Chain A
Amino acid sequence: MTALQTVHITRRVDPHLSIDRYDPEGELMLLHFGPQHPSTHGVFRMDLYLDGERVVKVVPHVGYLHRAVEKLCETLAYVQITPIVDKNDYVAPMTNEQALNMAFEAALKLEVPRRARWMRTIFAEMQRIASHLLWLGTFALDLGGALGGGSTVFLHCFRERELVLDLFEEVTGARFHYNTHTLGGNRHDLPAGWSGRVRAALEIISSRLNEYEAMTLDNRIFLDRTIGVGKLDAELALELGITGPILRACGVDHDLRRDAPFHAYDEVKVNVVTAKGGDCLARAQVRLGEMRESVRLVREMVEGVPEGSINSGKPVKLPVQTKIPAGQVYVAIETPRGELGTYLVSDGTQFPYRLKIRPPSLHALSALPYIIPGGNVSDAVAILGSLDPIMGEVDR
């Protein structure tokens, strides 16, 4: 099954029915789960209707972190937008700027130099490792608690994530909100000896990945908590527009890096990791597998970064001198969380007329009302964690 086929929307039991239909006597307990809660991965609220500890109905509420990013972008010149969207998916900022600048470049019909494309691809893959490491840590926190084994996994994951952030810092000067992608290429070139340090860091990370697999996939308690929990079937996932590791965990072989190659992905072979079952364990397997695959890709690519210019953009004196011809463009890339789309409508001026960002996490959250009911409160936490939602990009 591939995602490129047309999806037929089928009628299914609507989880958005009024609560009266579930609970005519009003006996259920309504538990506001969030927005201030240790396991909501930011400010997210679920209204859980509980029968004892069993969840009967879930109503997710988003919007607590809305910062009107899209509207703000309409008042900014094109080169000024990059640092703003960095804060959308604050766990993988590199991929935000990547998607945004690709849209601008497509609208401008600007060719990105080969060296810049390779660098962007390497950055994206390293960002994937860092992002998945953070996911693994926070997922363990959800399962094991901040005062227990969960936090041990969490801090170990952060140790390796640190290696990746150090490498980014060396290139861009920033550990997190990089602002390194710009129109037509990159801002910062790779420093001397960087590839050697990348190889050394990957050596450490790949050996530690074995430890993480042992700590999670060989751990009886981890398996008990994840097998069969939050089962999502492929059909529903496609219907809801879910992409990325969650979709691949449902057995759908879909990855934009291979199916619609961008940057240098057409020059390297990407092995898409899929898993069967669509439960929390499958999502964990996919993400752990992807980390391994990313390590392999970076290791392979960092050897052969081509020489040349890193930016083909025409130098301009003022940001507002860059104008994009009237028209519209949609560009989507594969981020650690799935398909991140940027839809740009330009009216020919120096500001975007409309900039719409399609975040993968928002679509992932839309599965919650379908997959949480039936489990108990502990399962709800595990399921939410396994979806890896980033509220910054959900609410924007």
Chain B
Amino acid sequence: MNDPLVHGIVYSLLIVTVVLTATAMALWFERKFAARLQTRLGPTMVGPSGLLQPVADLLKLLQKEDIVPEKADPVIFNLVPPLAALTALGAAAVVPFSPTIVASDLDVGVLYVLAIGAVTVLPVFGAGWASNNKLALLGGMRAVAQSISYEVPLLLSAMVPVILSGSLRFGAIVQAQADHHWFVVWPFFIGIPAFAIFLLAMLAEANRIPFDIPEAESELVAGVTTEYTGMKFALFYMAEYIHTIVASAVGAALFLGGWDGPFWPGLHWMVLKTLLLFVTVYWIRWSLLRFRSDQLMGLCWKYLVPASVLLVGASAVWVVLT
């Protein structure tokens, strides 16, 4: 296990398996959770409490006819769905789930996560362009505009824990919080706003309501995924969930102290915190309406970007003073 290559392969497989299983469970959980918010029961028929619903969904999607529109660009059209799932999964490689369970604790882990996050927009835009569908094109256009804008506050707010801990390595960031305080606890006047901005930008990056304008099914039918059927659609769908789970884990590591916590082993705390963020994301999703695209840009450039610049400055000053 001391060989970094073996370590990387074993832990990558482990994390991929865990994240994909978590995605399936997240599907079930979200359906149940949304149903309770909406005075419904949600899935009840497939398995106990509908636990096997994701399996049934997957089987259904596997059986669907695979349609490539006649005028679509077949190469890009077929390439982007797996790419979407892969890029979303990529960020999980550097997230420390406990002091030892981490596939690869890169020296530039935060940078890597942000870079992978920036790449996730490419498959979405590719899908919008290659579908040769006007609704998909509009969706792709919105996705690019949104991702490029929200990249800025996401990056700046992620810089706050980097500056406070003095490292780009996830392990060191979590260790710094374990040694002193979680960044949302102290210095809370920097940590909490930065965490809020990170959460908002994360929602926007993962295309979740109130920022799901690239999909916007009441306006653009299904946005970029309009022309996709069967398993290709399922990959896009999974990518969204993977993105949300991984982003929750990153948020937990950066601001909520990662695996740090009393009594329980680190893995439990990390899973609990990730779950907490994940539920928050879905709670927001199922209770808010959607922004309009220009209002979305306004929120980003008028409020989030100046605020995050201020926070980066404040955290630098804080580090110098203490």
Binding site for B on A (CB under 8 A): 29, 31, 37-39, 50, 52-53, 140-152, 155-156, 159, 219, 221-222, 224-225, 376-381
Would B135 and A221 count as touching, CB distance under 8 A? no
Would A53 and B293 count as touching, CB distance under 8 A? yes
Would A53 and B289 count as touching, CB distance under 8 A? no
The answer, among B37, B135, B292, for a CB contact under 8 Å with A378, is B292
- Give the chain B neighbours of A380 by CB distance below 8 A: 219
Could you give 28 example pairs across A and B, Cβ below 8 Å? A31-B135, A39-B219, A53-B141, A141-B218, A142-B218, A143-B289, A144-B218, A144-B288, A144-B289, A145-B209, A145-B215, A145-B289, A147-B209, A149-B209, A149-B286, A149-B289, A151-B286, A152-B286, A155-B40, A159-B39, A221-B288, A221-B289, A225-B292, A376-B292, A377-B220, A378-B216, A378-B293, A381-B218
Would B292 and A224 count as touching, CB distance under 8 A? yes
- Give the chain B neighbours of A148 by CB distance below 8 A: 209-210, 212, 285-286, 288-290
Would B218 and A221 count as touching, CB distance under 8 A? no
- Give the chain A neighbours of B291 by CB distance below 8 A: 221, 224-225
Would B219 and A378 count as touching, CB distance under 8 A? yes
Would B138 and A53 count as touching, CB distance under 8 A? yes
- Give the chain B neighbours of A150 by CB distance below 8 A: 218, 289-290
Would B209 and A39 count as touching, CB distance under 8 A? no
Would B38 and A145 count as touching, CB distance under 8 A? no
B263: min CB distance to chain A, Å: 36
- Give the chain A neighbours of B322 by CB distance below 8 A: none
B45: min CB distance to chain A, Å: 19
- Give the chain A neighbours of B138 by CB distance below 8 A: 31, 50, 53, 377
- Give the chain B neighbours of A379 by CB distance below 8 A: 292
* Complex-state Cα separation, A37 to B287, whole angstroms: 23
The answer, among A52, A141, A149, A378, for a CB contact under 8 Å with B287, is A149
Interface membership of B179, Cβ < 8 A: no
A227: min CB distance to chain B, Å: 11
A55: min CB distance to chain B, Å: 12
Interface membership of B221, Cβ < 8 A: yes
- Give the chain A neighbours of B285 by CB distance below 8 A: 148-149
- Give the chain B neighbours of A156 by CB distance below 8 A: 38-39
Would A140 and B220 count as touching, CB distance under 8 A? no
- Give the chain A neighbours of B290 by CB distance below 8 A: 143-145, 148-150, 221, 225, 378
Would A149 and B217 count as touching, CB distance under 8 A? no
* Complex-state Cα separation, A150 to B216, whole angstroms: 11
- Considering the complex of A and B, which 9 residue pairs feature the smallest CB-CB distances, nearest first? A144-B289, A148-B209, A155-B38, A149-B288, A378-B292, A39-B218, A143-B289, A221-B289, A149-B287
1/0 contact string of B269-299 vs chain A (CB within 8 Å): 0000000000000000111111111110000
Closest to B285 in A: A148
- Identify which of residues 186-222 in chain B touch chain A, using a CB-to-CB cut-off of 8 Å: 209-210, 212-213, 215-221
- Give the chain B neighbours of A219 by CB distance below 8 A: 289
- Identify which of residues 105-161 in chain B touch chain A, using a CB-to-CB cut-off of 8 Å: 134-135, 138, 141-142
- Give the chain B neighbours of A147 by CB distance below 8 A: 209, 217
- Give the chain B neighbours of A159 by CB distance below 8 A: 39
- Give the chain A neighbours of B287 by CB distance below 8 A: 149, 152
A35: min CB distance to chain B, Å: 12
Closest to A375 in B: B292
A31: min CB distance to chain B, Å: 5
A87: min CB distance to chain B, Å: 26
Would A377 and B219 count as touching, CB distance under 8 A? yes
- Give the chain A neighbours of B135 by CB distance below 8 A: 31
* Complex-state Cα separation, A225 to B138, whole angstroms: 19
Closest to A36 in B: B221
- Give the chain A neighbours of B289 by CB distance below 8 A: 140, 143-145, 148-150, 219, 221-222, 225
